[in-house]
């Protein structure tokens, strides 16, 4: 994603999208009833790893040729970027290349407002940095007391009194580090806990334990993580937790299982940390056999998972994909393709709620100028938006 002599495979682009092979479901997938799949950026934009702030209707992203961090507003009337290139406000001009970090800036939310956590490069050393906004002016705080850190992700609940950020060591150590925004000089650690993700609604971490099971860590009670799956023959990855309004606000989480299935679990009794299998599904596409980049989203009191169905198990081939939305319902699950029928190289679907509608944005990769199956300065990375019909 940078100069021609510094090649980034398509797999590395956009948030380390993890793809798995999966077979078709027994029942036919729900037919596409929504065909709105519009261009939301310039047709020749080069937007690396776009992340969304739906509260303030904007994105952050990383330019791949000069390693800058940018913010750009979204026009609420059209759903398109107000500046088609995305280069509206420059936040930082020296961040870690996506060829190394594989992940750009991530939004943070709390009662204190909105911030961006990102990978900062300074004199050859990598740090976590936090950019905050005051009256439209951005300033950055580099966490220099903790060098050689990478890939920060922050909590996103605007009702939290204080946000928190978790990240990894560089090189990786298999442990997860974290800090509270009001105690940035104090670094805390969760040993033998990787692939960590903050819960959508509260400051809990899901992650993967050394035995490949899903663990749950509560920073408010920082002992060892609790194991919340017990399928010893299953290798889990990519665990995400949220509270499901349609289930009495119960905690739920999903994870990839053996690389070829999504399994959804529900807490049996509130606060018990006892989770039971609620739903499992394979790739519902009739055209592409692989599932990738799943994310939970709650909209109008119901839970969904957005994901992509891809032709290739690895995106290095730059092959086509579709964007899908799954309704999390053990009695009547619905799997709906929300992208149009045009063949495109799609990746990194991101749910976005605006004006009481749920949309899915994604990145279209166009490598036709120099089809070398790699991201470089000739590669077009344009933003598109699908209407889900919800």
CA torsion sign for 161, 305, 359, 82 is positive
Q: What is the CATH number of the domain that holds 75?
A: 2.130.10.10
Residue 246 included in any domain:
yes
For residue 6, the model assigns a pLDDT of 29
Total structural domains in the chain?
A: 1
Q: In what order do the strands lie in the sheet with 380-387?
A: 37-39, 380-387, 357-366, 346-354
Q: Is 258 exposed, middle or buried (0-12, 13-18, 19+ CB in 10 A)?
A: middle
Residue 375 has pLDDT above 80, yes or no: no
For the stretch 143-196, pLDDT in tens is 999 999 999 999 999 999 999 999 999 998 999 999 999 999 999 999 999 999
Query: How would residue 312 be classed by pLDDT, with cut points 50, 70 and 90?
Result: confident
Residue 1 included in any domain:
no
Residue 3 included in any domain:
no
Residue 203 included in any domain:
yes
Give SS3 for 157. Answer: coil
Residue 261's Cα: distance from chain center in Å? Answer: 18
Residue 348 has pLDDT above 70, yes or no: yes
Portion of the chain with pLDDT greater than 90, in percent: 77
Report whether 130 contacts 117 (CB < 8 A). yes
What's this model's pTM, rounded to 2 decimal places? Answer: 0.91
Give SS3 for 101. Answer: helix
Residue 2 included in any domain:
no
- Which residues constitute the domain of residue 340? 8-387
Comparison of pLDDT for 100 and 225, the residue scoring more: 225
For the stretch 7-49, pLDDT in tens is 344 444 444 344 444 444 443 344 445 579 999 999 999 999 9
């Amino acid at each position: 994603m940078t100069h021609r002599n510094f090649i980034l495979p398509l797999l590395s682009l956009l948030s380390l999208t993890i793809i798995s092979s999966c077979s078709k479901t027994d029942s036919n997938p729900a037919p596409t009833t929504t065909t709105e799949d519009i261009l939301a950026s310039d047709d020749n934009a080069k937007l690396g790893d776009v992340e969304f702030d739906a509260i303030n209707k904007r994105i952050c992203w990383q330019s791949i040729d000069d390693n800058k961090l940018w913010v750009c507003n979204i026009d609420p009337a059209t759903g398109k970027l107000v500046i088609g290139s995305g280069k509206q406000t420059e936040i930082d001009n020296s961040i870690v290349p996506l060829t190394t970090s594989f992940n750009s800036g991530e939004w943070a939310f709390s009662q204190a407002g909105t911030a961006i956590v990102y990978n900062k490069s300074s004199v050859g050393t990598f740090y976590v940095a936090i950019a905050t906004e005051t009256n439209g002016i951005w300033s950055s705080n580099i966490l220099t007391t903790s060098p050689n850190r990478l890939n920060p992700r922050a909590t996103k609940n605007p009702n939290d009194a204080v946000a928190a950020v978790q990240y990894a060591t560089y090189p990786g150590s298999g442990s997860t580090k974290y800090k509270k925004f009001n105690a940035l000089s104090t670094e805390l650690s969760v040993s033998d806990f990787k692939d960590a993700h903050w819960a959508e609604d509260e400051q809990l971490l899901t992650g993967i334990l050394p035995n490949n099971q899903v663990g749950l860590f509560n920073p408010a009670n920082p002992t060892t993580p609790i194991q919340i799956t017990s399928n010893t023959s299953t290798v889990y990855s990519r665990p995400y937790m949220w509270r499901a309004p349609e289930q009495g606000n119960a905690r739920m989480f999903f994870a990839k299982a053996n690389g070829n299935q999504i399994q959804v679990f529900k807490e049996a009794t509130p606060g018990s940390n006892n989770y039971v299998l609620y739903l499992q599904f394979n790739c519902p596409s009739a055209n592409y056999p692989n599932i990738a980049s799943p994310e939970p989203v709650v909209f109008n009191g119901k839970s969904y998972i957005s994901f992509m169905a891809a032709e290739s198990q690895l995106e290095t081939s730059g092959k086509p994909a579709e964007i899908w939305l799954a309704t999390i319902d053990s009695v009547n699950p619905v799997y709906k393709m929300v992208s149009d029928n045009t063949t495109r190289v799609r990746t990194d679907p991101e749910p976005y709620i605006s004006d009481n509608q749920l949309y899915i944005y994604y990145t279209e990769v166009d490598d036709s100028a120099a089809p070398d199956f790699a991201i470089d300065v000739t590669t077009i990375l344009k933003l598109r938006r699908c209407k889900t019909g919800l």
